[in-house]
């Protein structure tokens, strides 16, 4: 496999028929939500607390996702700020029991640590 993912495998999930758009392909919003979940899983560990998504930048859809594909979201740290964490997320699929991996989507996501009053909280580095 020449296209190697970067970062930590944060979530792995199978695309189901309910995740499609009216044309029958997997809906882009579903893909973004899986990446968002993966980034949240990764950033919660760093923040040691609750995080919310503040920005999703430069997201590219490189290739389609089909029902039955296994989506794998890899997260790598870009930057830890005062209250925010920026990560780069790459989403790959495994298809049809083959030992191939296709990069379908990638983008930069930023999360903010929140306190119990829903205000930004400092991250201990």
Ligand X SMILES: CC(C)(COP(=O)(O)OP(=O)(O)OC[C@H]1O[C@@H](n2cnc3c(N)ncnc32)[C@H](O)[C@@H]1OP(=O)(O)O)[C@@H](O)C(=O)NCCC(=O)NCCS
Site of interaction with ligand X (CB under 6 A):
52-55, 81-84, 110, 112, 120
Looking at the Cβ atoms of 53 and 94, the one nearer to ligand X is 53
* Closest residue to bound ligand X by CB: 81
| CA atoms of 94 and 42, how far apart (whole Å) | 21
Looking at the Cβ atoms of 41 and 102, the one nearer to ligand X is 41
Looking at the Cβ atoms of 102 and 114, the one nearer to ligand X is 114
Contacts of 7 by beta carbon, 8 Å cutoff, 6+ apart: 74, 75, 76, 77, 87, 88, 89, 90
| CA atoms of 32 and 118, how far apart (whole Å) | 23
Task: Report in angstroms how near the CB of residue 62 gets to ligand X at its nearest.
Answer: 24
């Amino acid at each position: 496999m020449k296209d190697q993912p970067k970062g930590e495998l944060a979530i792995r999930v199978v695309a189901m028929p309910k995740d499609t758009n009216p044309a029958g392909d997997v809906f882009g919003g579903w893909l973004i939500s899986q990446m968002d979940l993966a980034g949240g899983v990764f950033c919660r560990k760093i923040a040691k607390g609750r995080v919310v998504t503040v920005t999703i930048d430069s997201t590219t859809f490189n290739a389609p996702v089909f029902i039955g594909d296994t989506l794998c979201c890899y997260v790598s740290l870009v930057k830890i700020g005062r209250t925010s964490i920026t990560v780069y997320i790459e989403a790959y699929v495994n298809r049809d029991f083959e030992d191939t991996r296709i990069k379908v989507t990638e983008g930069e996501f930023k999360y903010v640590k929140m306190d119990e009053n829903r205000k930004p909280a400092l991250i201990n580095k």
